[in-house]
Amino acid sequence: MKIRKIGNLEVSPIGMGCMAFSHGYGAAPAEDYSIDAIRVAHDFGCTFYDTAEIYGTEQFYPGHNEQVTGKAIKPFRKDVVLATKLFLAPEEFGDNGVDIYGAIKKHVEKSLVNLQTDFIDLYYLHRIHRQIPVEEVASAMGKLIDEGIIRGWGLSQVGGDTLRRAHEVTLVTAVQNLNNMMERDCEEDIFPYALANNIGVVPFSPIASGYLSGKITADLKYEKVDDVRRWVPQTQKENIIANMPILDVLAEFSTRKNATNAQIALAWMLHKYPNCVPIPGSKNRERILENLAAWDVELTDEEFDALEVALASVPLHGHRGHVEFVG
């Protein structure tokens, strides 16, 4: 079985983003379907699952996605790496001074209940807030590690400077940022430091919210409620059309490798960075397995170099980047 290391955690080379079972890509599937899909992924070899406390807020309630994920993985909880994320707001801190540790502890305790577990393998701060010093979050995460409540911690949508400041206080296990063939800010800002410091990089939206699969067409109708494709730059009508050349590049390589476009998009990042473990998301069982199977699509160095050259020749339209700060 293939494994990768992110920090001190061993995981399958591709993980599973569970978000869409509660949020982000329109109506969530029935719970039974979602649970079955997560278990089928595990049978296939997936040992890394990603959720967050806020997934589900729009369609259900906060914690919904953690509950579905926790229920699904319960039979094999100890065999997998479970990641979740917390959102912190300054209003949560008491008037008698800032108690970041106390605030984080309340979040983690709720997540443990939702996830039906007594520890979390990887606990991320979902967004950075200007008024919440990342050093204090890092220190609180260090305490949670010492207490055995979490095994490692991470940051999401973070810039290089903030990552450095945090890592100096408590070793960061992983960064979860937007990263794919069309969103490459991390290549300059995050990967070099992460590689040098044993930090894993967990790209979210590795298929550019579906665009790189080639299955999104300009006439596709998104759902009215809770569908991020209504605002993601790569899934806007004008960019769907303008970015077709990148799909031609992918089609050429997928034909050559007898793979799908989505698999090439994933195989490319696996080849590029040894500390990279993407977490594609899908509500569709067959596509979940298709995406996981990309760990068997191996590009030779020559193929990878040719792909990089081809990608560099394609102009890109639409850029989301990472907006580091909320508030």
Ligand X SMILES: NC(=O)c1ccc[n+]([C@@H]2O[C@H](COP(=O)([O-])OP(=O)(O)OC[C@H]3O[C@@H](n4cnc5c(N)ncnc54)[C@H](OP(=O)(O)O)[C@@H]3O)[C@@H](O)[C@H]2O)c1
> What is each CA distance from 79 to 40, 71, 171, 290, 298, in whole angstroms?
15, 14, 24, 22, 26
Minimum distance from residue 32 beta carbon to ligand X (Å): 17
Minimum distance from residue 208 beta carbon to ligand X (Å): 6
Helix (H) or strand (E) holding 121: strand 120-125
Measure the CA–CA gap between 212 and 244, rounded to whole angstroms.
10
Query: Among residues 197, 207, 257, which one has the least CA distance to residue 232?
Result: 207
Task: Centre a 10 Å sphere on the Cβ of residue 276 and count the other Cβ atoms it contains.
Answer: 24
Task: Pull the structure tokens for residue 34.
Answer: 């979602």
Helix (H) or strand (E) holding 134: helix 134-146
Residue closer to ligand X (CB basis): 51 or 117: 51
Identified catalytic residue from 25, 49, 55, 273: 55
Measure the CA–CA gap between 110 and 61, rounded to whole angstroms.
13
Minimum distance from residue 254 beta carbon to ligand X (Å): 11
Residue closer to ligand X (CB basis): 95 or 219: 219
Strand duo 48-50 + 81-86: pairing: parallel
Residue closer to ligand X (CB basis): 270 or 279: 279
> What is each CA distance from 81 to 3, 117, 183, 214, in whole angstroms?
12, 12, 26, 30
Helix (H) or strand (E) holding 11: strand 9-11
Residue closer to ligand X (CB basis): 281 or 318: 281
Minimum distance from residue 156 beta carbon to ligand X (Å): 4
Judged by the rule CB under 6 A, the positions of this chain that interact with ligand X are 17-20, 25, 50, 156-157, 176, 204-210, 213, 215, 262, 279-284, 287, 290-291
φ, ψ of residue 17 to 5 degrees: the values are -80, 120
Catalytic (active site) residue 55:
yes
Minimum distance from residue 158 beta carbon to ligand X (Å): 10
Residue closer to ligand X (CB basis): 53 or 290: 290
Minimum distance from residue 178 beta carbon to ligand X (Å): 7
- Asked if 288 contacts 282 with a C-beta cutoff of 8 angstroms, the reply is yes
Instruction: Point out the residues that are catalytic.
Output: 55
